[in-house]
Amino acid sequence: MKKYEIIYLLICGIALFSCEKSFLDKKPDQALLVPSTLADFQMILDAPVFGDSPGINEISCGDFSISDAAFLRLTVLEQNAYLWKKNAFAGMPIVVEWYKAYQQVFSANVVLEGLKQMNDPSKESPDFNRLKATAWFYRALAFYELAGSFAKPYDPETARNDPGIPIRLISDVKVKSKRGTVQGTYDQILNDLKQAAYLLPETTLNKNRPTKCAAFALLSRVYLSMGNYNQALVYANEALKMNNKLLDYNELNKNAVGNVFPSPLPNGNHEVIFYRKLPLYSFPAVSPAAALDLDLYQSYADKDLRKLIFFRDRGNDVYTFRGNYSGTMTSSLFGGLATNELYLNKAECLARKNDVDGALESLNTLLKNRWERESFLPLKAEDSEECLKLILIERKKELVARGLRWSDLRRLNKDSRFAVTLRREINGVTYQLLPDDNRYVFPLPDNEITGPEMPQNP
């Protein structure tokens, strides 16, 4: 068997394991673990599995709704996520949101261990450091996305006691998995990302490989989710020093039938820092079945180009999403990192520091590229509270269908000023999700509950 075939099996082999036991305790065929050169490790890190972020959160976030008839066409998982069912995974043998993330962790650990064992001159090359940093970046991203689904939101007062996720730092499955704490989870995420940022290159040939700017942008996102707005601002600024470009929506073909955005791959769409996609679910991908919340649609002013570019009018007050930064790859929503998120991070953090002028400058820099040129009037605010409210409204409008709303709900619901109750109706029955509901944390897959060290979420 050729080496590239063996490495391909390493990349894909976890999918072939029996589902009777915990995924984290599966033992892969050791004969497959033979990568030994920098090219081998690059092949592992370029595997398709590293291209996916979780998509279930986008189904649950409340921005899109569907009809009773369309609901029946969803998978059981999608129906459960849509209605915030307590047992969302209903005994499923494979939970994709969990499985793919830990496959990313496993592969990243294989690379890190393999690189550590190398003794040839290539160990001193820039490619060696880049690959090591890439593995750290992917492991941190996987842990962060797992924590955003399967652990409580970060709270500095309770994080040292709240159950986190299993932190796997080695590929040896003989080491038993156990849940750490939320604090330990985020400490590991930040440690991996800061190490990665130090060694990652400033540019890459393809935007599905991380850069130094991507690490800074992800650090800003992580710190924002933790409520550490000082550090979120630091890293937003660091990332914007490297890329502060924005698309001018006036220059896009607003009347195009399909998606109007340029493809980010291999290196298009200068707003995109790092390309990643949300997995292909039938909801809420680009589909006539998924209608935007009408109140959200009506919050866009008529001269706001996003109202036309982001959405398609289906008639009868039904508006579906088309504003996908995946460009022509419309089958999957964009779930990566982009500069528009950074401008919003910066604006929010400055508002929370009572720097109203700085916050509005960041916000208006973004918005002037979103409105018709002759129509835009810079937003104003009397104080930091009014400014913060404006920014959070624009954040929801700008980052719709990007996989970020669920994280924003989890952190903002802790503040009574911004807490919301989500509601949906199916077949005449109203379902709701309260701001402090335990269902903002998804249950661990049933087959991972292997003992007292892996307690289920409440």
Please tell me the least confidently modeled range out of 207-211, 254-258, 286-290, 425-429: 286-290
Asked, for residue 197, whether it belongs to a domain, the answer is yes
Asked, for residue 456, whether it belongs to a domain, the answer is no
Q: 3-state DSSP call for residue 183?
A: helix
Asked, for residue 455, whether it belongs to a domain, the answer is no
pLDDT at 18 over 80: no
- Give dist(CA 232, CA 342) in Å, integer: 9
pLDDT at 420 over 70: yes
**64-65 and 291-292 strand pairing:** antiparallel
Asked, for residue 405, whether it belongs to a domain, the answer is yes
Asked, for residue 458, whether it belongs to a domain, the answer is no
Asked, for residue 453, whether it belongs to a domain, the answer is no
Q: Tell me the average pLDDT of the chain.
A: 89
- Tell me if the pTM is above 0.85: yes
Cα–Cα distance list, 363 to 176, 318, 329, 387, 388 (Å): 47, 29, 29, 10, 10
First-to-last C-alpha distance (Å) of the chain: 47
The stretch 300-308 carries a mean pLDDT of 96
Asked, for residue 251, whether it belongs to a domain, the answer is yes
pLDDT at 365 over 50: yes
* Domain of 318, in residue numbers: 3-448
In total, how many domains does the chain have?
Answer: 1
Please tell me the least confidently modeled range out of 65-74, 177-186, 212-221: 65-74
Number of H helices, E strands in the chain: 16, 10
Nearest to 81 by CA among 70, 91, 89: 89
CATH number of the domain encompassing residue 203: 1.25.40.390
Asked, for residue 229, whether it belongs to a domain, the answer is yes
